[in-house]
Amino acid sequence: MKSLRFLAAEGFIRSGPAALENLSCVSFNLYPIIFKACYLHEQAVLLRGLVQMWPLPDLNLQRLLGKTVDCELDLTSRTCKLCLTAILTGLKEYVLSPPRIYAKSLRVVDLTALKDVEHQACPCQSTLGRWARTQLLTKMCYETVVAMQASNVPQSVFETSVDVRLNGFITGRNYEQVAQVFLLSSYCPLKLRFVAFRADSLTLKQLFYVLRLADPEAMSKLEVVHNVPLEAVHLEVLLSRVEFPKLQSLTLPAGALDVRRLGLDDEDLLATIGNLLAQLSRLTELLVGFSTLTGHLRKLLSPLNTSLQCLELANCCLNRVDMTYLSNSLHSEALVRLDISGHNIFVSFPTCFHKLLSRCSDTLTSLALEECDIKDEHMDTFANALACCQALEELKLLGNPLTSTALRRLFSMLSAGFPKLKYIELPVPRDCYPEDVTYPLDDAVLLGYDKDLFQEVRAQLMGILDGAGRGSVEVCTPLMGAYDPDITETGNELGVSILKSFNSVVGSFIGTVTDVNKRRSQTQTDN
């Protein structure tokens, strides 16, 4: 629904070149509604001019592009390359231009509301992802500093200071440019602020250096992922030397915490890290998937002073001791999102699992149980444990050997309750695969299922939901992984980094074998 004001704004932006000329006649309180109309219809030239003349103290994309009384459309998931380039270019021109109709009052630009999604609704269908936004914004900052060296720059440039908040993404490809902009921050009117910081394909030296430059005191989210060789000893150094007073969410790369690598001198390292995490007084999300924590979960989590709301422990090799602790901890009463994929829950700790779900039943909205070897014989126990989680919105069950019969029973239960359920990741039924396959499925057989039978079963399951008036629930089977915008955007760089690491390991192995052969030959010669 659009108000008459918004319809009038749409009419204004369609008036051609005259709209840009008439901006100087527009009242300052109409700039936000014209901004959204320009973004909706991809009027990039007018959008750029609008930002260049921005008369208000803040430019917040959540307030400008989110649902408003004048236009209920939420445009924050439209990461339109054309429009975002226009906004950031207009921002640079705002800084470098003298005041026009209104005095320069812009102090904060907030881009953090942008959400990267798989299917873009913007007409141009061209996106500017998180990495590309970081790259473009740092380029604008650098060009601003360069332009300030000219002799004809107006004095207002040196009196302007604008905080630009965004969710930054740094990899080896843009590291140099980002680090350089942070170093020049005191000279640049555009002050880059990373509210969320994602690092991938960086060396430890690069990670530590750029983190110190990036104002970690203002960060609320830190993601160190994939090809960053961060381990427990490095994490201890990071947390002890860099302060994150506002950090709410921490993601560590696979294998960062591995108790198998700890020597006798490192027995208390996880407890030390736990104490350092306790100093993060706002921490509510911890994602440590694919770490090996067997028997050590208490050391890591018990020192925390705040209850975790999001906890990812996928493939962490947890045992009964770990789950006993978790199901009795204060964290269990606050969990909103939980991922314990990769654990044989009904063989290793069925009672603890039931208790854990019962304790977080009032708060839990997302539950991931992928590759947990849940079979038909476990359905009674699983249904009893799940029944108390009526606030559930997401359920992920990929990779479990459930037959179509068990899945029909599960969907019947879900459709009869769970009023907030919106999303289900459905496993391919066990009876769609050849009888001789074993779980967990390897890549060679993952896609070798009976497609026709699968579609038949899926239609039956959707029919169960439709029959209960729950047809709006999204059901999908992302066998190759759910869409990840960050990996999609930087996948080529990640692949090259992994290949280089593999070649390095192979090279070291070959070098070691060669050295052994040389020593062996020398020994035989000496004898």
| SS3 state at 63 | helix
Residues 473, 423: contact at Cβ < 8 Å? yes
Contacts of 373 (CB under 8 A, 6+ apart): 344, 346, 347, 400, 401, 439, 440
Residue 524: predicted pLDDT = 60
Lowest mean pLDDT among 235-249, 263-277, 480-494: 480-494
| SS3 state at 108 | strand
Cα–Cα dist 149/215, whole Å = 26
Tell me: the pLDDT tens digits for 127-146?
A: 999 999 999 999 999 999 99
Cα–Cα dist 179/138, whole Å = 9
Establish whether the linkage from the previous residue to 478 is cis, with ω within 30° of 0.
no
Cα–Cα dist 291/252, whole Å = 9
CB atoms near residue 434 (< 10 Å): 9
Cα–Cα dist 41/59, whole Å = 19
Cα–Cα dist 480/457, whole Å = 20
Tell me: the pLDDT tens digits for 380-422?
A: 999 999 999 999 999 999 999 999 999 999 999 999 999 999 9
Tell me: the pLDDT tens digits for 376-386?
A: 999 999 999 99
pLDDT over 60 at 504, yes or no: no
Tell me: the pLDDT tens digits for 412-459?
A: 999 999 999 999 999 999 999 999 999 999 988 999 999 999 999 999
Tell me: the pLDDT tens digits for 14-51?
A: 998 889 989 888 999 999 999 999 999 999 999 999 99
For tokens 């530590």, the residue is 208
For tokens 């602790």, the residue is 325
Cα–Cα dist 108/113, whole Å = 14
In a 13 Å sphere around the CA of 158, the CA atoms on its Cβ side amount to 8
Q: Report which DSSP code applies to 127.
A: B
Residue 102, amino acid: Y
Residue 58: predicted pLDDT = 97
Residue 165: predicted pLDDT = 98
185 is written with which tokens?
Answer: 């921050």
Tell me: the pLDDT tens digits for 208-231?
A: 999 999 999 999 999 999 999 999
Residue 285: predicted pLDDT = 98
For the four alpha carbons of 242, 247, 253 and 257, in that order, the dihedral sign comes to positive
At 509, is the pLDDT very low, low, confident or very high (cuts 50, 70, 90)?
A: very low
Closest by alpha carbon to 374, among 350, 354, 343, 400?
400
User: 208 pairs with which residues across the strands?
Assistant: none
Cα–Cα dist 32/40, whole Å = 12
| SS3 state at 285 | strand
Distances (CA, A) of 171 to 131, 405, 487, 494: 8, 46, 12, 9
| SS3 state at 33 | helix
For tokens 């989210």, the residue is 221
Residue 518: predicted pLDDT = 62
The torsion region of residue 27 among left (phi > 0), alpha (psi -120 to 50) and beta comes to beta
| SS3 state at 407 | helix
For tokens 């306790």, the residue is 278
pLDDT average, residue stretch 317-344: 98
**Average per-residue pLDDT for the chain:** 93
Tell me: the pLDDT tens digits for 487-502?
A: 989 987 755 544 454 4
Q: What is the pTM of this model?
A: 0.92
Distances (CA, A) of 419 to 416, 451, 468, 470: 8, 30, 11, 9
Residues 168, 141: contact at Cβ < 8 Å? no
pLDDT over 60 at 514, yes or no: no
Residues 50, 31: contact at Cβ < 8 Å? yes
Residue 265: predicted pLDDT = 79
pLDDT over 60 at 508, yes or no: no
At 125, is the pLDDT very low, low, confident or very high (cuts 50, 70, 90)?
A: confident
Residue 283: predicted pLDDT = 98
Helix (H) or strand (E) holding 377: none
pLDDT over 60 at 527, yes or no: no
Residue 368: predicted pLDDT = 98
Burial of 20 (0-12, 13-18, 19+ CB in 10 A): middle
Distances (CA, A) of 491 to 34, 81, 170, 295, 340: 36, 19, 13, 34, 26
Cα–Cα dist 331/333, whole Å = 5
Residues 40, 33: contact at Cβ < 8 Å? no
At 64, is the pLDDT very low, low, confident or very high (cuts 50, 70, 90)?
A: very high
Residue 496: predicted pLDDT = 53
323 is written with which tokens?
Answer: 């789950």
Tell me: the pLDDT tens digits for 302-314?
A: 999 999 999 999 9
Cα–Cα dist 162/298, whole Å = 44
pLDDT average, residue stretch 293-298: 96
Residues 167, 193: contact at Cβ < 8 Å? no
Closest by alpha carbon to 54, among 77, 26, 82, 81?
26
Cα–Cα dist 47/88, whole Å = 10
At 515, is the pLDDT very low, low, confident or very high (cuts 50, 70, 90)?
A: low
